[in-house]
Amino acid sequence: MRKLNVYDGYKKINVWDEYVESASGYCKSIEITVESGDCIWNQGIICMEVDVYPKHASNYAMVCVEYVPNQSDKTNIIIEYDRESVDDTIKDMMTNKKAILGLNEEFAKNLEEFFVEYPAKRLPQGTIRIFNGAYDETGSSYVSFKSVMELIIDAFENFYNLNDDNYLKKLIEKF
């Protein structure tokens, strides 16, 4: 279910809290294990798409994350990427722009870097699986994927607030 869809002429953010159409045919993955902390996330899926238009450039990223808790003292992170076919595109009806569905190796490694640099013991016990995403060939960057991951982490930490308009406004302001 789409929880948020905002476009103000400068930025567009879409948030889903359940399964969305996914690219298929991933043949590679990156796996990272870090020490978990005492933070608590609710089991579920959050997909977030962000497109920002500062001046004459754009920054676009979409990331879909599934979290499953367990009783270990570790956080396992799995980033699926490198599809066999990259012919799939999604069209953004608001901006009339096409994005490539799935993650390529560059953006998968950007996400890996994000988690390697993320502060120790700030992730929950369990498995975080990045199972889908999208990027624009000219308008996506490490910065856009890092920003989306920060918002997704905030959304998982405040999962029950996704129905609260005030929380959603604060989430938008963070970007």
pLDDT tens track for 148-159: 999 999 989 988
Contact assessment for residue 130 and residue 64, using Cβ atoms and an 8 Å cutoff: yes
Q: What is the rounded average pLDDT of the residues 44-58?
A: 78
Residue 117 belongs to a domain: yes
Q: Has residue 169 been placed in a domain? A: no
Quote the CA–CA distance of 86 and 100 in Å, as a whole number: 7
pTM of the model: 0.86
Which distant-in-sequence residues (6+ apart) come within 8 Å of 6 by Cβ?
Answer: 12, 13, 168, 172
Residue 88 is assigned to a structural domain of this protein: yes
Q: Is 102 helix (H, G, I), strand (E, B) or coil?
A: coil
How many Cα atoms are found within 13 Å in the side-chain-facing hemisphere of 116?
10
Q: How many domains is the chain built from?
A: 1
**Of the listed ranges 21-35, 134-148, 158-172, the one predicted with least confidence:** 158-172
